[in-house]
Amino acid sequence: MSRAEALGRAFLAEHGRRGELRLRRDLGWSRTADRLLFDRLVDGYPLRGEDVKVVMFRDGSAIVEGAARSMAGARAVVAVPEEAAVGTALAAVAADGAASVVRARLAWEGRRLVWEVRLLIDGDGTWSEDLLVDAADGALVGRRDLRLFCLGGGPGGRATGSGQVFDPNPVQTLDDHNLRDQNDSNGAVPASTYFQVTLLDLAGTGYLDGPWASTSPTSNRAYEPSGQFIYQRNPDQFEEVMCYYHVDGFQRYLQSIGQTNANRRQQKMDVNGTTVDNSWYDMGTRIITYGSGGVDDAEDADIIIHEYGHALHHDVQGSIGGGQNGAMSEGYGDYFAASFYDDALVGEWDATSYTWGSIHYLRRVDGDKHYPGDLNGWVHDDGEIWSAALWDIRMAVGREIADNIIVEAMSLQSGNSGMVSGANWLLTAEQQLYGGAWRPYLEWALDRRGFLPLPSGTVVLSPQDSSPISGTATTLVLTAANHAGKGYKILASRQPGPNPLGPPWNVTIHVGLDLLSLSLAQPGFVGTIGGTGTAGATVLIPASIEQKPVVFQAGVFDAAGNLVELSKPCAIRTGIH
In a domain, 72, yes or no: no
Per-residue pLDDT of the chain (577 residues; tens, 9 = 90+): 899 889 888 888 888 888 899 999 999 999 999 999 999 999 999 999 999 999 999 999 999 999 888 998 888 999 999 999 999 999 999 999 999 999 999 999 999 999 999 999 999 999 999 999 999 999 999 999 999 998 776 434 578 999 999 999 999 999 999 999 999 999 999 999 999 999 999 999 999 999 999 999 999 999 999 999 999 999 999 999 999 999 999 999 999 999 999 999 999 999 999 999 999 999 999 999 999 999 999 999 999 999 999 999 999 999 999 999 999 999 999 999 999 999 999 999 999 999 999 999 999 999 999 999 999 999 999 999 999 999 999 999 999 999 999 999 999 999 999 999 999 999 999 999 999 999 999 999 999 999 999 999 999 999 999 999 999 999 999 999 999 999 999 999 999 999 999 888 889 999 999 999 889 889 999 999 999 999 999 999 988 888 899 999 999 999 999 999 999 999 999 998 9
Domain termination residue (choose one: 38, 66, 94): 66
Spatial separation of the C-alpha atoms in residues 33 and 413, rounded to whole Å? 11
The answer to whether residue 241 sits within a structural domain is yes
> H or E segment at 256?
helix 237-256
* Residue 60 sits in the same domain as residue 86: no
Quick one: 200 and 248 in the same domain?
yes
State whether 112 and 60 are in the same domain: no
Phi and psi (nearest 5°) for 552? -135, 150
Q: Say if strands 228-229 and 159-166 run parallel, antiparallel, or are unpaired.
A: parallel
Indicate the SS3 state at residue 127. strand
Boundary-marking domain end, from 322, 337, 354 = 322
- Is 301 a domain residue? yes
The three-state secondary structure class of 9 is: helix
CATH of the domain at 186: 3.10.170.10
Q: Say if residue 117 is in the same domain as residue 214.
A: no
Q: CB-based contacts of 506: which residues, under 8 Å, 6+ apart?
A: none
Domain total of the chain: 4
CATH at residue 115: 3.10.450.40
For residue 432, being part of any structural domain is answered with no
* Alpha helix ranges (H) inside 413-483: 419-434, 439-448
Query: Quick one: 210 and 106 in the same domain?
Result: no
119 & 60 share domain:
no
- Our CA dihedral for 293, 294, 299, 305, rounded to 10 degrees, sits at -70
330 DSSP β-pair partners: none
Are 99 and 223 contained in the same domain? no
In a domain, 77, yes or no: no
Q: Is the dihedral of CA 469, 475, 476, 477 positive or negative?
A: negative
Same domain, 132 and 188: no
Same domain? 209 vs 106: no
Query: By the 8 A CB rule, do 489 and 537 touch?
Result: no
Q: Are residues 294 and 167 part of one domain? A: yes
Nearest to 441 by CA among 397, 391, 490: 397
* Structural domain range at position 140: 82-147
Same-domain check for residues 186 and 308: yes
Alpha-carbon separation of residue 206 from 11, 226, 227 (angstroms): 52, 7, 6
